[in-house]
Chains A and B, each alone.
Chain A
Amino acid sequence: DIQMTQSPSSLSASVGDRVTVTCRASGNIDNYLNWYQQTPGKAPNLLIYAASNLQTGVPSRFSGSASGTDFSLTISGVQPEDFATYYCQQSFVMPYTFGQGTKLEI
């Protein structure tokens, strides 16, 4: 199975900050990398797919990038509604494994 190692596990930020979450795959996933946001009590919501493509309706302050097996999610100008947990997921080969999650806190 492909292992997804996500860091940090938690992150403190203030409104307006720029924050970055990273995810490393244990093998090639050919940019089949998705990012999800989950707020407490809610289902995950797709933010970015194919490493850098913004899902329809997602604000442009979210962006994704890739370098080999390293991936990052950046929020440029954190808003109050962005305080949530973020997960990466590889969708290249089944099982489609998730990272452990990063909790973004105020």
Chain B
Amino acid sequence: QVQLVQSGAEVKKPGSSVKVSCKASGGDFNTFTISWVRQAPGQGLEWMGQIIPVFRSTKYAQRFQGRVTFTADESTTTAYMEVSSLRSDDTAIYYCARKIDHWNRSDPWGQGTLVTVST
């Protein structure tokens, strides 16, 4: 079955950038849509956007537009999310998930990557 494995935790300084990876296995990456969701400490889930790797097509939630970039490498079946100009309120767990069928349900999810932004 499809599995998504994310890169490890990161500690970053304010103003820097972070790039999180999400490696897919067990399915045809060329048919995937990968969504990204974040969760601030003790808070709820926030949809950030998605990428369709085969088309290089991206959609971003408005609040992340311009500061977040989704990319993908089909040769390694890996999706990436980069956040630039990091602020303390970007401290969160970032999840990738596969979006499936026309109901746009997300399954499975990666295990999450904690990004801590701190001086």
A residues at B contact (CB < 8 Å) = 32, 34, 36, 38, 43-46, 49-50, 53, 55, 87, 89, 91-92, 94-101
Contact = CB atoms under 8 A, between A and B. Distances in A.
B105 A91 contact: yes
Which 8 A-B residue pairings sit nearest by Cβ, starting from the closest?
A91-B104, A43-B109, A49-B105, A95-B61, A46-B107, A98-B45, A96-B47, A101-B44
Contacts of B112: 43
Interface string B75-119: 000000000000000000001010100011111011110000000
Given A43-B111, A43-B112, A44-B95, A98 B44 contact: yes
Contacts of B111: 43
The secondary-structure label for the interface of chain B is strand
Contacts of B10: none
15 contacts: A34-B104, A36-B45, A43-B97, A44-B45, A44-B97, A46-B107, A50-B103, A55-B105, A89-B47, A91-B105, A91-B106, A95-B61, A98-B44, A98-B46, A100-B44
A87 B45 contact: yes
Most chain B C-beta atoms within 10 Å of own C-beta, residue among A44, A50, A55 = A44
Nearest to A43: B109
A53 to B, nearest CB: 8
A44 B62 CA distance: 23
A37 B30 CA distance: 28
